[in-house]
Structures are given as structure tokens and as C-alpha cells.
Chain A
Amino acid sequence: MTLSASEIQISPDPGESSPQADTPQVAVSREVRPAPDRYRNPFGRYKVNRSADCIACGKCAQLCPEGVHVKPDGYSFILRPRDQYCIGPVCAETDHCCVAQCPARALSMARNPSADCVGDSRWPSELILATWHEAATGHAPTNLEYRRGASGGGFDRLRVNFPDTPPAMVDPEQVDTSLELNRRGDSRPRVRIDIPVYGGGMSFGSVSIRTIVGKARAMTAWNSFTCTGEGGYPDRLKPYDDHVITQVATGLFGVRDDTIQRVRIVEFKYAQGAKPGLGGHLLGDKNTPAVARMREAVVGNALFSPFPFHSVYSVEDHKKHLDWIKEVNPRTLVSVKVSTPTDVDMVAVGSYYAGAHIVHLDGSYGGTGAAPDIAKKNIAMPIEYAIPRVHKFLAAEGIRDKITLIASGGIRTPYDLLKAVALGADGVVIGTAEMIALGCLRCAICESGRGCPRGIASTDPELMEQMELDWATQRLINLLAAWREEIVDVLVRLGLKSIADLRGRTDCLYYLADDDEQAAPARKEGDR
């Protein structure tokens, strides 16, 4: 049974007995530690083969600074090449190329056909590998395009307009990447996160519990937030209550008094960018006993989150919803997640007047666990168009500084984040980037049968065993560390002291006139 709004009782004095009080909060270190690929055979762009002619002299192991060849002490033979670290043909120009210098001519290098099998225009193979590198090491790679995709439009045609010399010298240590989420000036707490990013809603059911808790731990480490999505509030999230946003969506799955009272931010999901106007859908196979218990539903039944909120027809109705949440939890901020229709600017203003602290725009190219292909491609506008439209309209209405504008739906890299902020957003929400960090390669079968064969977006007990919580946590911490490092780097080069200074600074961007991505050299000095 699903609770409808009217069936949820409002507790008489929610402030007195916060359910959170009974769960001690856990701290997580944000230290970067190596978290290499969890598979036996990691892969990169190149494949290095060692033939039977190898005489095990160990020269390659001495030569390679990338660590492709390893001959541990006491070993007679050299280990299988760790070719995910190989930098490819450019190595031939150096003095440490193993293929050229092997005395037995036993080594060869070629493009890895497997690498060409992953990726697409939005997330090219190289960007996926680069994100894996960031998650493994906490730093951006040097030999892979990690800043943008190859979709030929939007963020991929925008470039950061770096001056030859920064207009002001800024100490990287002093750069402020934090983001204030409550700008209304009301009596509710001010909530500041250390990075201008928080995690997108992924419900228990659509992803495994390890993914959910890993996300929460990483965001706890970075003093930011993760979101439950619409699937209830798993007990294992309770030690991270202070860094959890709980979602109230149209199906009201798992929405209870105590879940709303636990958190510092509640998110109303009106629509999702990948399937705007269509509502959510959990296929029957993924509705396992644990999921069904959490959602108070019947095992094996497909679960629909209908579109839209059946009780909202106007800004006044919308305000009534927000008031309900504010009444249930007097310390919570309220975020409103909407899609990007042509009137998205009006929707944003309406959300402000309804009392929202955050308006969260989810662009049409965003991620999902399952959506009709036609919706993902065609319905509603990409986020790149929506941000400037909303930013300018809120400014013209004189309320831009009273509300936090968050963008999501196609934010893949720290550069996408910076471009979104320069176009007018305050911060972003990421989802797919987190999944990629956990080893996703966008094979797009999250929704079918047992779910994700890589154990990320699956509640199948056997599949989810493939990923360990500590590893997942570290990968995400590393990813955010790499992102922050890049954000700071760009801000310093722009001579800006904080991410807040970049907001709406479209002069820090330029747009390539040529429609063809190929026309712009992929990597150009000074255009990092």
C-alpha cells in the first residue's frame, strides 16, 4: 500500500523528538587513496601483448614509467602487461618505449577493440576511461580527454575563455568551492556544502544498497548531500542523515513522517529529465522482497510513479505541498526538482513563490535507470538551454539571489559543472558520473532482467556482490577530489576566488561557431 498525502499524519510537535537523535552520525575521511579497477582485467585504450619470444630480461619493467610492465622482486617472469596504463603511440617519441626497446621484439601495442565498444557521443570511450582514472587516483588523467564529450553541441561546443594571464593572482589553497543552499533568509538553517555538487536521487530498487550507501559516505566525506530517490529510506542510510536528501515524488513510495524529519533537505520531484512528463517505472523483476518491503508494495509487481502530482494544478497547490513538508520538519530546506519545458523560467519563479529554497532543473539528456528512448532524446530541452533562460528570468524578477539554482541532466565532468555555473547555475547534481566512477560503462541494460550485470544498478544478491562498499566509497571520494582539483585549477586561471564569483559570468565562456566537433582540435594547448 502506498500512502497518499492525506493519509500521512502530521505529528503534533516534530521538533521535539527528531527521529534522527537515535542514530549516531558517522564521519568519513575525504582522503584520496588508490582505488583501482575492481575487475581482474582492467582495460584501457591500448592493448600491449607480450609474445612467447619474451626472455624475461625485465628491461620493459625498468623502462616504463607508467607501470605497464611489472617484474616483482624474486619473480622469474614479468606480470601480464597492465595495459590500462599504456599511453599509446605517443610513447614511441619518448626514450622509454617498451615496444621499440625490447631486445627480443616480443612486445606489440595496438588499439584495444574493447575500448571502442564502450561509450557514445555523450560519454565517449575516452571520457569513461578518464572518469575511471579519476575515481582510481583522485586526479585527472594526462593522456585522456576528461573535460567533455563528443556530442557536437551544448557543453561540448562551449569552451572556457582563459585569459593569457589571470586578472588576479589567486592562491589555490584559498579558493572557495563551497555553496550556500538556503538564500531565502528565512528562519531555517543555513546549509553550506563544501563542493558545488551533490548526488542525484537513485532509489533503493533501481540501484544496490552498496551504491546508495557508498554515495552517502562519499558525500558525507565532502560535506555534501546524496539523495534517496523515490524508493524509501533504507536503515543503512540513517548514520548519514545529515547528508541525505529524501525525495517526495508522485508515487510517494516510502514517504513517512520520520523520513522527512530525519533530513536537512527534502526534495519534491515533479519530473525527471530523462523521462519528463512520464513518471517513474520500476520493472517487476527489480521489485525484490527487500525493495517491496521498503516501498510497501507487492513483490514482483511493476511499480509506477504516476505523472504528475495529482494534487497540484497551480503554484498555490504547489505551495500547499511545500508547506506540508515544512510543517512536518521545521528545520528542513525544500528543493523542487523539475524538468525543462519551454516555460521552465515560469516554473522556477513559481517554485520560489511557493517557498522553495532550491530549484533543481533536470535537463533532458540526464540519466535514468529505465526510460523510453523517445523521451530521453526528444522531450524537453537540454540543460544548456534551460540554465541561462532561468538565470536571466530570475534576475529580471529580482529574486535571483533568494533561491539556489541547481542544474543536472548531462553534467559529466568538472568542466560541464564550470560551464553550467558560468551560464547561471549555482551548483550541479551528478548521477551518471557517479555510476561511471563505480565501473558503469553505459551498456544501458540497467532496466532489464536482473539489472546491471556489473552490480551497480541491481538488487540481485549475486550481482551486487561484485562491488564492495569500501571500494565504492573510495572511488566516489576520489572522483570528487579530482573534480574539485580541476575546479580550483580553472578558477585560479580565471583569477576568481570562489565558485560563487563565476556564476553567470558568460564572458568566461565562448561558443564554437562550427557545428562540427571535429573542426575543433580535441586537445589544444591553452584550451584545457
Chain B
Amino acid sequence: MPERHHIHTAPTAARFARTGKYATVDWREDCSRCTNCVKLRCTYGVYDAATAHDRDPSAPRQPVFECKGCMSCVQNCTKGLLSLSVNPEYLAMGDEYWRPEVIETTWNQAETGRIPVSGAGYRGRFSGPGFDSIWTDMSEIVRPTRDGIHGREYISTAVDIGPKPMRLEFAADGQLLTPEAQLIVTQLPVLLDVPPWPMGPGTELLSRARAAAAVALTTLAVVPMAELGGIPDDHMPAVVPLLDKGTAGPDGDLPAGVRMVEVPIGSAASDAIRAVQSRRPDVTLCVRMPPAEDSAARMLEFSAAGVKVFHTCADTHGREPGTGRGRHITDAMRDLHRQLVEAGRRDEITVIVSGGVGLAEHVAKAIICGADVTAASTSLLIALGCKVCGGPGHGVNGCGWGRSCAVVIDEAAVDYAAQRMTNLMGAWHSQLIEVLGAMGIREVRRLRGETGRAIFREDMEREAFGDLIRK
């Protein structure tokens, strides 16, 4: 039996009490000290945990943040003294894209490594921009494996990164002329990208953690050149050094095990590409570029120069950077994919998409829109407890300067950070398999550009309600 890919998740408690959704309003002075106090009868023992410190000084002081909001205490209190309210601190987390619920579910996944499961139906908006305007398909009778949940391991989430020969060429004597493909195979279609904004002193720790997590996950971690120093040699095959913008090639030698390098697009990019090609022909080159209308043309130009891998970085909200509201990465990616297909070059090129990839469903949907691989970045910070408090451009020197970061990411241990990232990716991996399984697709490579296996809002609105619209 072939070896199965398995992600080793391990419960890893957060370093700080999480910010919960609810808080109680408790009118204690009217309490009659009755004998059937609702606080003692909480189904989930939330009040016990919250008052543990009163009985044992070594227990943590803990607000009732684990409250599930069932209202049993509010509705049963003999004198009706309790109310529940939504914690304003919870609502203040994140922004309109990284909503409190996204942050909360990311924390849960980073802590447990498990798929978020809950009761009752869907709770959110009917649809929304970008990823939220796409539903994935399901098949009524086809399942890739006939073993129900027990066959999940046979659904492949592996993807190939690197130049792929489109045909094999042989000499007259049958000798294979085409050089062997240097494909990098990751077992997860998610790379671990650099933080979306400057991280101050925490940045090196994050790089080491990303590298360690990438090894555990059999994927790749993007690490700025300046931070390669702290990474052990045996992690190098999972590390993708990111050259500084504007430099005409790597400063000094690339570490021995490195298999791919990212070159930021810019005036010096061509020089940097040539420098790497001449010094390390074994290394796969990737150009890092923002999504734009002319992305396809740019990619074809670079392709002629021997670069076949591109990392398209949208902003943290998944949009084309720049002023105003650029296209969402879903639209940009569909357009790019179509153009490359029409040019007859799609299969030569690997496209990595990042920016706004914050939930497992985004991975599947970005791939449906035409990406080969995605990359996570903001989510990796949230996995470490980040609340996206300031977002991009927060502070001149970036986040993580001691007290300026509420969760002092720079003081976390590398092992802890790597395990939390691994847990989050493990949960994403399981969810991706659920989505693939529901679609009856057996490997993620086949999902690329499969828009026929998705349901797009604009199509359905036109079909269902097009003739009913009243302005």
C-alpha cells in the first residue's frame, strides 16, 4: 500500500485567553442567594471556569468568554438578574474582510487542527463579494471513493510547481532529449507566505516557524533572504527565498537545499532572473507580481525568458492593489486563466495566488477560478492569536513591537508557532477534502479552472431572478 499523506495535528492551546463573543451583565446586588443558582447549572460549566480564581488563586482569571449563548442562565435565573450582551471587544476585532467570525474559526482550527463543525444551518449573508459569490458543486451519486469517510486519504491534494515539458522529444536512436522535469510537488495546495505587513521583531521567528511548518506539511514557505540565517539546513528544501525588491540577484550564495526562488517584479527582475539562472540552474524561478489586467501578457513575456512559475499577490482583502476597489482575485484569476488558455500556454505555467485567502473554502474557490496553488499569509498570523487589529501599514515599524502587539507574537516559541500553523493547515486540508469529495473529484489538480463545477452568483441571479428585478 502506498504511503499516505498525513498531517500531524496536535491540540495546542492559545497563549492567551481568547476574546469571546459574549459577556454577561449581572445585577448582583439584587441576588437573593437562592438555592438553585443558574450559574451552578450551566450545561457547559462556563461560570465554574470563570470563578475558579475565587477558589484557587493559581487558577487564571477568566471572563465568561467560553459562553455558548444558549441563554439558559438568562432565562432561568430566579430573579431575572442576568443579561447577556455581545462583547464589544469581539466586534472590534479585524475589519470588514477579516471579520470576527473568521478570526474566531481560525483560532479554533489552529488550536485543534480539526474541521469546524456546528449545529443549525448556515448563519451568514446570502452571498458577498469575491469568494462569497461562488458555491462549489456536489454530485448526488458520485463519490471519489466508495468508502464514505474512510476513503478520504485517497483524495489527493498534491500539486506540481515548476516548468512542465509539454511534449517529449526523442533522438533518432530513441534517446530521450527532453531534460527531466524539475517539478516540486507539494502535498498541500497552500504555500506559507510572508506576513502581509511588516512584523517588526517577530518576523524572524515567523520565518523559522513557517519553514518548520512547511516541512511538516510537505509544502513550501516563502522567507525573505535576510531571514534565512536562523533556518536549519534540513528545512531548506521547503524554503523559497524571496529576493529583496530592486536587487540584481541574491546576495551571496543561495543555501544548498533550496529548490525555488521568488523574484519580485520590477526593473531589476530580469537581472535577478539571469543571475539565478547562471549561478543555480537547478533552482525553479518564480516571479512575484500583483494581479493586474496585463498579468497574462507579462507572464508570457517572462515565460519566454524561462520563468514558468508566478506568484500573484493580491492585497489582504483579495483585491488588485492600488487605489479604489480593484477586481477581486476570483475575477482577476478567471480572466488570467482564460487568457492563458486562449494563448495555448496554460499548462506550461504554474500560478500561485495569495492575498485574502483566509478560509479553507477560499483555497478551493481560487483553484476553481484558475489558480494552481494558493498561499496563506494573514491567516498564519491569526493562527498565532493575531486579531488583525491594525491591519496593513499598522505602525511605521510594523506590528509585534513588544507591548504594541496584544498577543506579543515575537515572544512565541518557534515550536508553538509551527504547530499552530500546521494545525490550521491540517484543518484546511481536511475541509478541502470534504469539498473535493462532495464534488466527486479525486485530486485537486483536476479542480484547476473547473468553473463548470462551481455555481457563480451572477449566472444564477440572471437565471433565477433576471426578469423579476425592480429598481
Contact = CB atoms under 8 A, between A and B. Distances in A.
B22 interface: yes
A432 B148 contact: no
Interface in A421-445: 423, 432, 440-445
Interface stretch (B7-15, B75-83, B298-306): B75-83
A29 interface: no
Interface in B38-95: 43-44, 68-72, 74-78, 80, 83-86
B348 interface: no
A410 interface: yes
A511 B44 contact: no
Instruction: Specify which of B75, B76, B143 lies most central, judged by the most chain A CB atoms within 10 Å of its CB.
Output: B75
A113 B83 contact: yes
Contacts of A510: 468-470
B105 A373 contact: yes
A409 B126 CA distance: 13
Interface stretch (B110-118, B260-268, B285-293, B390-398): B110-118
B464 A388 contact: yes
Contact of B470 (A151, A306, A307, A513): A513
Contacts of A123: 123
A341 B140 contact: yes
Contact of A444 (B44, B85, B119, B364): B119
Nearest to A412: B121
B123 A444 contact: yes
B76 A39 contact: yes
Interface residues of B, number: 71
Contacts of B76: 39-41
Interface residues of A, number: 99
Interface string B439-455: 11000000000001101
Nearest to A121: B125
Q: Tell me what chain A mostly uses at the interface: helix, strand, loop, or mixed.
A: loop
Interface in B90-148: 105, 115-127, 134-143, 146-148
A39 B468 contact: no
A136 B43 CA distance: 26
A376 B453 CA distance: 17
B460 interface: yes
Nearest to B454: A342
Contact of B464 (A120, A270, A369, A384): A384
B140 A339 contact: yes
B408 interface: no
A60 interface: no
Given A270-B141, A379-B136, A278 B460 contact: no
A61 interface: no
Given A158-B465, A374-B434, A450-B43, 7 more contacts: A151-B125, A277-B139, A342-B452, A368-B121, A370-B117, A374-B115, A381-B135
8 contacts: A116-B86, A121-B125, A278-B434, A347-B140, A367-B121, A374-B361, A379-B137, A443-B120
Interface of A: 37, 39-43, 47, 80, 112-114, 116-118, 120-123, 151-154, 156-158, 270-271, 274, 276-279, 304, 306-310, 312-314, 318, 338-339, 341-343, 347, 364-382, 384-385, 387-389, 409-410, 423, 432, 440-450, 452-454, 457, 463, 506, 509-514
